[in-house]
Structure 1
Amino acid sequence: MPSSFKHLFALLFCLFAAQTFAQQPRIVSANGTLSEILVGLGLEKQIVGVDITSTYPASLDKIPKIGHNRSIAAEGILALNPDVIIYTDQSMLAPALVKQLNSSGKKLVEFKHEYSKEGAIRLIRDVGAYFNARPQAEKMVKSLEADLKKVGAPKSPKKLLFIYARGTGTLMVSGTGTSVDKMFLLAGHKNAVQGFTDFKPLTAESLITANPDILVLFSSGLESLEGAEGLLKLPGVANTTAGKNKKIVAMDGQLLTGFGPRLGKAALELSQKVN
């Protein structure tokens, strides 16, 4: 091959490689819902790091973990040499971390995530648009909407109480405005506790006052209490309607709170387990 052709071939190869790299950035996701969306968009091979809430699909377990919201360190992310780092306004990243990443020269992108059907659809479309994968995003949106249509209104709305548990030493209840609260409403039920937002420590008095019909926990949370029997031994639980009837619902945490592509499946599963 003449040297002029070799040089031309080498130049074309470099241009092609540069274009391919530009189209396939190395991605770090600091949010489980974003990670799930990336996989749905066909970008899993480009993910080089995820936070510990990135549990679905199971193949994400093989990807290096960067930690969980405020415990994430910039050094761990930068060591993965990402081209872009994505998170949502609900990811609760430490301000110092955001400042460090912004000053690192890496692309840091925040997506707005509202806990609603509209918010989930918007997030999917926004991520799809950013990564030039709009057709794949629309497929996810259609699937989400089809799933939500399967969720019927309950004949008798129940009072649900979500307990966040990490053993008996960490017990919190969900107030209004949380992703769990929004999921209860989406499924046609209501939160047994009102009057405060976010989470508060669980007390026997507040539990008895709320008197939920059903207790809802993450599957991992219920396991940390040694199952339903352990939960029923907590002060106040046996005095509630839920405790007396042993009405306990356990769901995967990311599914229940993700408000992403599986939103319809989550609402349907909650409805079926409650009814």
Structure 2
Amino acid sequence: MKKALLFFAITMFAALTAQAQQRIISLNGAISEILCALGAESQIVGVDVTSNYPEALKTKAKVGHNRNISAEGVLSLQPTLVITFDNQLNPQLLDQLKAAKVKTVILKQELSVQGTRNLIGELAAAIGATAKAAALQQTFDKQMAAVKTTALHKKVLFIYARGAGAMQVSGTNTSIDKMITLAGATNAMTGFTDFKPLSAEALVAANPDVILMFDSGLGSVGGAEGLQKIPGIAQTNAGKNKKVISMDGELLSGFSIRLPQALQELYNKLK
């Protein structure tokens, strides 16, 4: 019995020591949020530019946008672990990390409530914090159960903008599309997947009741007044009724542990 307890104590000490020595780089905002919630904030030495919550992440070294990250910037931080999603990692970067013998965990993000719940467990396993996963999942479940939504008979058009000259709309199979559906509304653009450039003709044909944007995107076109000047906007129900809403980009699209907050906020703004 004593030997068994001693072995257990040694094993736990080794695991805790290894965890404390980790130098983690997170290449996605949702991953970074969950790592912090699991108590690994002090182990994070670098993040991508979407990792801005919680506030402490803003002090971490930035290694670039998750789709355009150089190995030099990552390796300069001497990471022992790099974590990302499979659809956001540059294959060349992966090869360079393997060559440098840096452990890389590549996860698949499922854009759903259960997907976020699963992600908590997967990240806990990746950093050796499985004991904390159950409690965090329980908190997440309670927060999701507290979200109050009903069916909304509204068509919502999401516009991703980086200025009036660079605007795209969301089709199906995007994080925004999933959020619109979870909030009880309907995506106004259903004839394609992913994103495509905004056209006045398609905009008028879709005739959304609400236009949804990131806060930064709406600001880049001059706010709601500037958006009205975009060809086609004024001819839609959303334009006529000036029904334009915006949210923080990472909160709205991240499917992180703040999903309950994001969903409730989106619903409240849509109704």
Give the aligned length.
259
Where does residue 220 of structure 2 map in the other structure? 224
1:105 matched to 2:101? The reply is yes
Where does residue 193 of structure 1 map in the other structure? 189
Unaligned runs of 5+ in 1: 1-15
Instruction: Tell me which amino acid in the other structure corresponds to 2:42.
Output: K
How far 1:198 sits from its partner (Å)? Answer: 0.4
Q: TM-score, normalised by structure 2?
A: 0.91
1:53 matched to 2:50? The reply is yes
Instruction: Tell me which amino acid in the other structure corresponds to 2:45.
Output: V
Where does residue 61 of structure 2 map in the other structure? 64
Equivalent runs, 1:203-242 vs 2, <5 Å = 203-242=199-238
Where does residue 39 of structure 1 map in the other structure? 36
Q: SS of the counterpart of 2:49? A: coil
> Aligned partners of 1:19 and 1:33: how far apart in 2?
24
Query: Does the 8 Å CA contact 2:29/2:53 hold for their aligned counterparts?
Result: yes
Q: Which moved more, 1:31-40 or 1:20-29?
A: 20-29
The superposition leaves residues 138-191 of structure 1 with CA deviations (integer Å, 9 ceiling, x where unpaired) of 233222222222333435331111000010121000000000000111111110
Instruction: Tell me which amino acid in the other structure corresponds to 1:260.
Output: S
Where does residue 270 of structure 2 map in the other structure? 274
Mark the CA change 1:223 to 1:55 in structure 2 (over 3 Å): closer, same or farther: same
Instruction: Tell me which amino acid in the other structure corresponds to 1:38.
Output: L
> Aligned partners of 1:110 and 1:156: how far apart in 2?
36
> Aligned partners of 1:158 and 1:67: how far apart in 2?
37
Instruction: Tell me which amino acid in the other structure corresponds to 1:193.
Output: M
> Aligned partners of 1:65 and 1:117: how far apart in 2?
28
Instruction: Tell me which amino acid in the other structure corresponds to 2:73.
Output: G
Identical-pair percentage: 51
Where does residue 256 of structure 1 map in the other structure? 252
Instruction: Tell me which amino acid in the other structure corresponds to 1:61.
Output: K
Query: Does the 8 Å CA contact 1:74/1:101 hold for their aligned counterparts?
Result: yes
Unaligned runs of 5+ in 2: 1-12
Question: Which one has the largest radius of gyration?
Answer: 1
Q: Could you tell me which of 75, 78, 94 is aligned with 1:78?
A: 75
> Aligned partners of 2:151 and 2:77: how far apart in 1?
51
Q: TM-score, normalised by structure 1?
A: 0.90
The superposition leaves residues 238-270 of structure 1 with CA deviations (integer Å, 9 ceiling, x where unpaired) of 100000001111000110011110111110000
